[in-house]
Amino acid sequence: LQLYNLSICLHITYEISVEAISTMVVFLSCQLFHKEVLRQSISHKYLMRGPCLPYTSKLVKTLLYNFIRQEKPPPPGAHVFPQQSDGGGLLYGLASGVARLWTVFTLGGVGSKAAASPELSSPLANQSLLLLLVLANLTDASDVPNPYRQAIMSFKNTQDSSPFPSSIPHAFQINFNSLYTALCEQQTSDQATLLLYTLLHQNSNIRTYMLARTDMENLVLPILEILYHVEERNSHHVYMALIILLILTEDDGFNRSIHEVILKNITWYSERVLTEISLGSLLILVVIRTIQYNMTRTRDKYLHTNCLAALANMSAQFRSLHQYAAQRIISLFSLLSKKHNKVLEQATQSLRGSLSSNDVPLPDYAQDLNVIEEVIRMMLEIINSCLTNSLHHNPNLVYALLYKRDLFEQFRTHPSFQDIMQNIDLVITFFSSRLLQAGAELSVERVLEIIKQGVVALPKDRLKKFPELKFKYVEEEQPEEFFIPYVWSLVYNSAVGLYWNPQAIQLFTMDSD
């Protein structure tokens, strides 16, 4: 309640607000010193059941508005407390001490990086966001659901005049436009990306509002930039960005609209100059780049799965793919094909070795082969989905397919891919025949023209129907095992002016992210 009241006159109570929020973070930080996720503590008891409970929605709303406002701290030299010529008593001495300490925090002490960190330009917003994430991820008691999570799940737009159902406790209203703007602007920090994930995943009002926006590029571009600079981000931040894309691609309207948004001069994309490209094609390029990075570096199956799921969700609505995006789809398949052949060769050699010697333990290439074949199958399904649902919209993909048609030859009779290859083989054969009839040494423009004309003549009834490719993000059964250590690692690394002895931390290892 004190935080709520302080927010009304924030310009003169900035330091006190930060201290109040920091105090709450400290109350809850006992979690840092336990390996297991805490399900009961004195802090839990008072926040979940005690006198604090009626103020749940006010606290969550205040923390969200602090994040939205991104209010800067008072400038150095600004005095909240009246100055006195002499000592002024104990109270003034304490106040002066707080002010001096605050100057160290905001200006950055010796060796401090606070001043250079964009998320710390507003310590109040940063601290509020961290507390909000901690509260949202408190574990439910045996008989009491987390009220702060309930508040986050149910708040509505200030423009929504419909009454709250009596069954929804702790509901409130907030300005969605202001929240959306703040989220778009703050995605450079892990905690802002985690908040965006939390809201998209848990609050259907927010999700519906965001998907209806006509300026989704403002939200999607920062997420793509996180994925593009994957080598500079910690794995948790990359996961959150990727899952946000997966949640967005569950909506067919989003998948259609992103191909209608034309972007110019994407300066952070350095592989190739992109003077003009659709948001959809850029999304495909970045996700494919993430897959390729993962194949050569981290080899994380979870990352692969989510990247491919996002592409699969989009595939039926691919529209006017940029020629470079079409090339990269086929190039990724080429890379997978080479990797498949290499693992297959290693497996064959391993089998021969096992026949000649029973003493030497050999690598299990069968499992590697199984994984790579699953990924290849998924890529074939994505290509097939585009060809069967939006062939006439994507001449560049057909061109790339024809240019690299030899790649697909080895999979035509493979038992794992035979069914899905039928449509791809039909398209390749049909257009190859038309190009052959047109003569030799055709220009790129002429080939594309033949493809566009051929789309009309292609016998669509010969294309085999497959179930629609759709994947939905679902949290693990015990998501707190992932999110609570993640949230507290953000608090440990990002909270302003708070220190915990690293040697006493039990929740996560201190030699990793």
Q: Tell me the mean pLDDT in the region 322-338.
A: 94
94-108, 328-342, 466-480: range with lowest mean pLDDT? 94-108
| Sequence-distant (≥ 6) Cβ neighbours of residue 467 within 8 angstroms | none
Averaged confidence pLDDT in the chain: 84
Which among 234, 105, 268 is positioned nearest to 512, based on CA atoms? 234
d(CA 220, CA 227): 11
The pair of structure tokens assigned to 133 is 């994430």
Q: Please give the pLDDT value at position 243.
A: 96
Question: For 349-388, what is each residue's pLDDT tens digit?
Answer: 776 666 555 555 445 677 778 888 888 999 999 999 999 9
Residues of the chain above pLDDT 90, percent:
53
Q: Are 377 and 420 in contact (CB under 8 A)?
A: yes
Q: Please give the pLDDT value at position 441.
A: 80
Q: Please give the pLDDT value at position 110.
A: 27
Q: Tell me the mean pLDDT in the region 312-326.
A: 95
Cross-strand pairs, 157: 174
Asked whether the predicted pLDDT for residue 217 surpasses 60, the reply is yes
The pair of structure tokens assigned to 501 is 């002895």
Q: Please give the pLDDT value at position 7.
A: 53
**Which letter does DSSP use for residue 86 in this model?**
S
Asked whether the predicted pLDDT for residue 92 surpasses 90, the reply is no
Q: Please give the pLDDT value at position 343.
A: 83
